[in-house]
Amino acid sequence: MATISEHTINSPFRNFTREEWKRLNGQLTHSILEEDLDQLHALNEPLTMDEIEDIYIPLAHLLELHINNFRDLHVQSNAFFKRNHEKLPFIIGIAGSVAVGKSTTARVLKKVLSLLPNKPKVELVTTDGFLYPNKELIQRNILNRKGFPESYDTKQIMQFLADMKSGKSQVTVPLYSHLEYDVLPNEKLVIHQPDVLIVEGINVLQVNSRKDGVFVSDFFDYSIYVDADEKNIVNWYIERFESLRATAFQNAASYFHKYADMSKEESLAMATQIWNEINKPNLHQNILPTRYRADLILKKGSHHFVKRIKVRKI
């Protein structure tokens, strides 16, 4: 299958350097506090006020244009059809590799969007909760393929998104525990008619074969792909694994407690093995091919900060 080259002259994307993008900066009426940074970034992912101001505030204002147009079209559509249907959420999908920083991007975006002038209600859902429980994965003999398309309950994801786009007043979402490495059977997140819904996960832009021809991304009003060179992602994954070994894995309740007493050398070897056997094949087979399906691509440098932005032309 043909792919789009980053260097295609007649590209469907506008390309911006960090400095060019920074100059698009708008001003929010509320500032983000320094203490918010600790709540927004993930382990081993640096986050600064400069990153928020240079990258995420311009992004929030770009999305505001789309959200406002979405709302205007809703009003006009109601007038045309002579109906008064309830507003529907503007849904943003965020995709990208394991360890690339999707979760941080999603959390920061949720924060800055909620600070826009009309103070939209923004909710965030990760697709981890839609993984099959470990018991089911074991029965299917695919526990070692967690994160691959077949490990997700796609029917459940699609039903959730269909409920959101049908205007259902309350929708429940399964929750996932990274500590237990499993879906929590008795815990749910309840979503009440948000103005904006962010859906984050490695699988959200994939178009694996479905009999009904409907895909998760069909429900998105805007999509973002968080990108980086693979060598950087591998380094970030290994660094995160080592940090977790020294912290979260020490918890006896952790699924990965068995790795807690590894030496640094053993930890490096294990993280590299997991990357090569699971994450690398998934990246190349299922995740990376979806990059140019996104409306916007955030390309990170080795320092974890965004260095280039690609925006699909309209």
Q: H-type helices in the chain, by residue range?
A: 18-22, 36-40, 49-51, 57-81, 102-114, 134-139, 154-165, 230-246, 264-274, 280-282
- 5 falls within a domain: no
CATH of the domain at 301: 3.40.50.300
- Which CA distances in Å does 157 have to 42, 153, 160, 227, 231? 25, 7, 5, 24, 31
Would you say 37 and 47 are in contact if contact means Cβ atoms under 8 Å apart?
yes
Task: Give pTM, 2 decimals.
Answer: 0.92
Supply the pLDDT for residue 214: 83
- 1 falls within a domain: no
Supply the pLDDT for residue 1: 45
CA atoms in the 13 A half-sphere facing the CB of 12: 11
Residue 272, both tokens: 């590299």
Supply the pLDDT for residue 89: 97
Rounded Cα distance, 243 and 75, in Å: 50
Supply the pLDDT for residue 180: 93
- 205 falls within a domain: yes
* Domain count of the fold of the chain: 1
- 170 falls within a domain: yes
Residue 182, both tokens: 């499993």
Supply the pLDDT for residue 303: 92
Rounded Cα distance, 239 and 241, in Å: 5
- 293 falls within a domain: yes
Of 274, 295, 219, 239, residue with least CA distance to 100: 239
- 135 falls within a domain: yes
Supply the pLDDT for residue 310: 97
What per-residue string of b and e applies to 140-149 under the rule 16 or more CB within 10 Å gives b? eeeeebbbbb
Q: What is the DSSP letter of 146?
A: B
- 61 falls within a domain: yes
Structural domain including 273 reads 13-312
* Residue in the structure block whose two tokens are 């074991």: 138
- 92 falls within a domain: yes
Report the chain (314 residues): mean pLDDT per 10 consecutive residues: 53 95 76 69 77 93 96 94 90 97 94 92 97 97 94 94 94 94 94 97 80 84 98 95 90 91 92 96 96 97 95 95
